[in-house]
Amino acid sequence: MCCTFAEKLEEVLLKEVIYLMQKDFVLEWRQKYAFNGMLLYVGSTVFICYLSFSLRFGGLEVPVWNALYWIILLFTAVNAIAKGFAQESRGRLLYYYSVVSPQGVILAKMIYNAALMLVLSLLCFTFYAVVIGNPVQDVGMFLVTIVLGAVGFATSLTMISGIAAKAANTGTLMAVLSFPVMVPMLLMLMKMSKNAIDGLDPSVSLDEALVLLAINMIVVTVSYILFPYLWRS
Amino acid sequence: MKLSWWKWLTIVLLLYTVIMGMLSEVPRLAILNETIRNLYFHVPMWFGMILILLVSVVYSIKYLRNPLTRNDIIAYESAKVGILFGVLGIITGMEWARFTWGEFWSNDPKQNASAIGLLIYFAYLILRGSFQDHQQRARISAVYNIFAFAALIPLLFILPRMTDSLHPGNGGNPGFNSYDLDSRLRAVFYPAVIGWTLLGVWVVHLRTRLEVLKQRFYENA
């Protein structure tokens, strides 16, 4: 006997997660319009900000630049991840229900959403920096913040989108349920990215980074435990 | 009228809190002056809110393990009473801040955190409203309740320790040690916490009985 039962179970779960993620990426590739739609959403939001702050003369002040970036990202995340569960048809969900474990589904969705958010937020940063200007002094640290932010947004919004998809008015509920839950994360992220923009030493942001990781752990664990109950309906 | 012992205890403790809270000697401190009496009314609201929301989460967990309508009703009613305590806590806090900090709302981290905490539970009420099916409503709102409470933990216990605030007892510890040392305050404060929390439990108890009876009535009607 090489493996215990728990190890076997883990192996099965890992396989499920990989399969489900592959399926999500393939689906995304086949429905490129949805992804392109998200890109256009990011692009036009940035451009609207550019126009409405009439930035042709002089840039934005640093705190405003920072806040605006994260708010754009927050709305993008809510819109991008809301479709995660809503796009799955009833029949397909029923099919998953009979073949894979719920833990596999939620983990795969989280990882997939994190990847999606990572791409979107990096593109958003690039476009934002080009159009509005780039005051960031410590780009490496800013990228680390973006990675933490993308993963954090993805994990907490995945569970919320699962909840909201079950209810009648998904769009409103998604925003209402997720904003208060995400505020602690957003505050930490803004502080961290402000430090990165000002070029402070990375050790200053260590506290924030640890809290963000802790919040992520809480969210992932709770989602992992709760999702099976959500799925049963 | 026959009341069980803890209801009498609630009445006695609250009478004691109100009378002693208004009349007893308090330490004379600069700026705070008589507003220190708010310790007996404002702080117990938050204690009560946390405890009653904890009850709500516990019954949500219970519902997921054992889907009885009663568990769902208790979770819902205690969430509502928790919100009531939270609103009262914010109002008493704002009134106090008006006299000590000069403004009702001065963008203090504690004020913001409590407002966000309330938003989470308002969202819970909205979520409950958007389901037709009873069982689905009960289960999914239980899931959100637990999830939101877990998300509330960093908001209540980690962030306040990382930011500066005008709120008493700040700078590393969001407690109230500097006042707590005074035994005269303590003699009223602890009974006040127990009394207000028991009052909350009483309200939940009554509302739950009413809802259970209503359910039974509709089932038989």
Determine which of A137-146, A208-217, B26-35 has the lowest per-residue pLDDT on average: B26-35
Structural domain boundaries in chain B? 5-220
Domain ranges for chain A: 7-231
DSSP label of A138: -
Q: Residue B181: what pLDDT? A: 55
Place of tokens 């108890």: B205
Angle, helices B69-100/B42-65, rounded to nearest 10 degrees:
160
Query: How near does any CA of chain A get to the CA of B126, in Å?
Result: 8
From the list B64, B130, B150, the residue facing A218 with the nearest CB is B150
pLDDT in 10s for each residue of chain B, 221 residues: 678 888 888 888 888 888 887 887 777 666 666 777 777 888 888 888 989 999 999 999 999 998 888 899 999 999 999 999 999 999 988 888 888 777 888 777 778 888 888 888 999 999 998 888 888 889 999 999 998 888 877 777 777 666 666 676 554 444 455 555 567 777 788 888 889 999 999 999 999 999 999 988 888 87
A178: DSSP letter: H
Q: Does A218 touch chain B (CB under 8 A)?
A: yes
The residue of chain A with its CA nearest to that of B67 is A229
The pLDDT tens digits of the residues spanning A170-184 come to 788 888 888 888 888
* A233: nearest CB among B117, B140, B147: B140
CA distance A176 to chain B (A): 6
Identify the pLDDT of residue B1. Answer: 63
Residue A150, C-beta contacts closer than 8 angstroms, at least 6 positions apart: A114, A117, A118, A120, A121
Asked whether the beta carbons of residue B140 and residue A159 sit closer than 8 angstroms, the reply is no
The pLDDT value given to residue B172? 41
Q: Are B127 and A156 in contact (CB < 8 Å)?
A: no
Q: How far apart are CA B113 and CA B110, in angstroms?
A: 5
Out of B140, B153, B162, closest to residue A163 by CB: B140
| Tokens 């990781």 belong to residue | A213
Interface of A with B in 151-210 (CB under 8 A): 156, 159-160, 163, 166-169, 173, 176-177, 179-181, 183-184, 187, 207
Cβ contact, residue pair B147, A176, below 8 Å: no
Question: For the segment A31-50, what is each residue's pLDDT rounded down to a tens digit?
Answer: 788 888 888 999 999 888 88
The per-residue pLDDT of chain A, averaged, comes to 84
Q: Average of pLDDT values for A11-21?
A: 82
What are the phi and psi torsion angles at A205 (to 5°)?
Answer: -90, 5
| Residue in B closest to A222 by C-alpha | B147
**ipTM exceeds 0.95, yes or no:** no
**Alpha-carbon torsion (A107, A113, A119, A122), positive or negative:** negative
Give pLDDT tens digits for A21-30: 888 888 778 8
Does position A133 have pLDDT exceeding 60, yes or no? yes
**A170 vs A75: CA distance, rounded Å:** 15
Q: What's residue A44's pLDDT?
A: 92
